């Protein structure tokens, strides 16, 4: 509607955009932020992307923005040293407001930001080819590598304990003991599954605390649709930088694999349909490791496969916790939706466990192929 469009144009004009606004379109399939494409009437100038930041989830928009600036500037400085790199294409660029800030707060208390629009790119919700999976691995691996020398303490932990399974299990236990909706009695097998796995799933946290895994800067939302690919399906840029914060590489590897290896939806009701697609896993691992293997140690490499099990387990724990709490965090489409989601994730964990040796062998084979092509010795 026209009034809404006028409002979006007004909001866009708070930013220091070049050219002339020619039109606006709601954009993308993200679940967290509202996104609009601001089209430029001046064909020599770029389009822009206006996003309303979800400040219910991201409560400290200032710190969030500082994290994004820190990371994107770091990557830009590195790209400047690479001959032929195209900075505008390979990393997101935040646009300033007229007040020299990188976000704008409107009269309703909403926060907005603007990025340069990446022309002629696409993002996929579902991976269909090994080529795409490989490119996704390349993109997230390269992103990790660009940030390898960042001191993680420079960034704010924007959602504390986001991927800390000990914290998620504590929330789950709290929900169980409160049992506000008398649902515990219906989920005994799921509770058993969670408890039987809890100790093993805490290994990454334990290793991290013991100094056996490096704390890095991780993306923490490595869904495949957070990579932009160009018209030839070649990875161009990693996007959706809201959850960048200190973390372990296994989180990014594990969450990406979660969305790539199983082509059934996150809430699949028919557990028979949850199957592993090993060629897609292998392709992703090859892309990721080709970028990261040079600096990862043996413990960190081994942690990657643990992350592949941990991430679906963790999201399953969170779905079941929300089910017990009466569905207050995740939007549900029907009664029992969160329970169905949890079951699907636990089924995926079971499949991954059954195939652990093969997943591990694929990673190790890829590591050794990369090491020998780099002229270094085997692990």
* Footprint of ligand ADP (CB under 6 A): 27-33, 35, 49, 92, 115, 117-118, 121, 123, 225-226, 239-240
| Residue at shortest CB range from ligand ADP | 30
Q: In this complex, which beta carbon is closest to ligand ADP, that of residue 33 or of residue 72? A: 33
CB of 354 to Mg ion, least distance (A): 31
| Residue at shortest CB range from Mg ion | 240
CB of 376 to Mg ion, least distance (A): 36
Residue 282 has φ and ψ, to the nearest 5°, of -60, -45
Please list, residue by residue across 127-152, b when 16 or more beta carbons sit within 10 angstroms of its beta carbon and e when fewer do. beebebbbbbbbbbbbbbbbbbebee
Any contact of residue 32 with Mg ion (CB under 5 A)? yes
Burial class (CB in 10 A: 0-12, 13-18, 19+), 232: exposed
Q: In this complex, which beta carbon is closest to ligand ADP, that of residue 45 or of residue 178? A: 45
Q: In this complex, which beta carbon is closest to ligand ADP, that of residue 119 or of residue 174? A: 119
Per CB under 5 A, the list member of 240, 252, 268, 286 interacting with Mg ion is 240
Cβ atoms within 10 Å, residue 270: 9
Inter-residue contact 86 to 76 (CB < 8 Å): no
Q: Is 327 left (phi over 0), alpha (psi -120 to 50) or beta?
A: left
Q: Which does 49 bind (CB under 5 to 8 A by kind): ligand ADP, Mg ion, none?
A: ligand ADP
Q: Which does 115 bind (CB under 5 to 8 A by kind): Mg ion, ligand ADP, none?
A: ligand ADP
Alpha-carbon distances, residue 21 vs 48, 112, 144, 152 (angstroms): 9, 17, 35, 38
CB of 54 to ligand ADP, least distance (A): 8
Site mask, Mg ion, residues 192-231, x = CB under 5 A? ----------------------------------x-----
Q: Which does 267 bind (CB under 5 to 8 A by kind): Mg ion, ligand ADP, none?
A: none
Q: What is the crossing angle of helices 278-292 and 249-260, to 10°?
A: 150
Interacting span for Mg ion (CB under 5 A) from 63-71, 200-208, 233-241, 341-349: 233-241
Q: DSSP letters of 116-176? A: E--TT-B--SS--SHHHHHHHHHHHHHHHHHTTTS-GGGS--SSTTTT-HHHHHHHHHHHH
Binding site for Mg ion (CB under 5 A): 30, 32, 226, 240, 242
């Amino acid at each position: 509607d026209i009034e809404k469009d006028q409002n979006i144009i007004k909001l866009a004009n708070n930013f220091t955009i070049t050219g002339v606004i020619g039109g606006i379109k709601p954009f993308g399939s993200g679940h967290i932020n509202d996104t609009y494409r601001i089209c430029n009437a001046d064909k020599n100038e770029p389009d822009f992307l206006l996003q309303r930041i979800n400040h219910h989830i991201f409560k400290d928009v200032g710190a969030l923005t500082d994290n994004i600036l820190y990371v994107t500037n770091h990557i830009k400085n590195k790209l400047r040293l690479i001959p032929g790199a195209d900075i505008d294409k390979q990393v997101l660029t935040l646009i300033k407001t007229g007040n020299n800030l990188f976000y704008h707060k409107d009269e309703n208390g909403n926060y907005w930001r603007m990025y340069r629009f990446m022309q002629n790119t696409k993002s996929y919700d579902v991976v269909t080819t090994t080529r795409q999976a490989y490119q996704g691995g390349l993109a997230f691996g390269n992103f990790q590598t660009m940030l390898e020398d960042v001191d993680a303490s420079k960034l704010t932990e924007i959602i504390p304990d986001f991927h800390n399974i000990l914290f998620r299990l504590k929330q789950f236990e709290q929900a169980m003991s409160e049992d506000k909706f008398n649902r515990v009695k219906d989920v005994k097998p799921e509770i058993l599954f969670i408890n039987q796995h809890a100790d093993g799933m805490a290994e990454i946290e334990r290793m991290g605390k013991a100094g056996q895994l490096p704390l890095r800067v991780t993306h923490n939302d490595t869904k495949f649709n957070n990579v932009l690919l160009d018209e030839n399906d070649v990875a161009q840029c990693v996007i959706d930088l809201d959850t960048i914060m200190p973390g372990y590489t296994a989180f990014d590897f594990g969450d990406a694999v979660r969305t790539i290896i199983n082509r059934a939806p996150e809430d699949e009701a028919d557990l028979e349909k949850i199957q592993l697609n090993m060629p897609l896993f292998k392709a992703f691992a090859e892309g990721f490791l080709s970028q990261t293997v040079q600096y990862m140690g043996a413990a960190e490499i081994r942690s990657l496969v643990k992350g592949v099990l941990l991430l679906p387990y963790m999201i399953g724990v969170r779905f079941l916790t929300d089910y017990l709490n009466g569905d207050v965090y995740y939007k549900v489409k029907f009664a029992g939706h969160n329970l169905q989601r949890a079951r699907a994730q636990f089924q995926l964990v079971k499949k991954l466990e059954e195939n652990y040796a093969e997943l591990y062998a694929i990673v190790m084979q890829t590591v050794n192929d990369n090491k020998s092509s780099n002229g270094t010795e085997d692990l």
